[in-house]
Amino acid sequence: MATIDTVRDLLDETLGLDGRAGAMVASTPLLGNLPELDSMAVVEVVARLETEFGIRIHDDEISAETFSTLGGLAAFVDGKR
């Protein structure tokens, strides 16, 4: 499975989107577009990404840019792998 597909599924599950993430494409905005993606949810998503992909995300790497779009988040994960 491609990274973007895994990240999409992870967001759907973590944020409780009930399948709405299935319509997301790489250019879909995340932060500011999904009310479910608040500061606490970002912490949960980061923890899940670390577990799912076996990566370590440092606090200074978490920014609005990292979570700007689905494709951007997937590219960030790929860069960490």
Per-residue pLDDT tens for 6-65? Answer: 999 999 999 999 999 999 999 999 999 999 999 999 999 999 999 999 999 999 999 999
Of 67, 15, 20, which is closest to residue 44 (Cα–Cα)? 15
Residue ranges per structural domain of the chain: 3-80
How many CB atoms neighbour CB 38 within 10 A? 12
**pLDDT for res 1:** 83
User: Could you give the 3-state DSSP secondary structure of residue 69?
Assistant: strand
Residues 3-80: name the CATH superfamily.
ACP-like (1.10.1200.10)
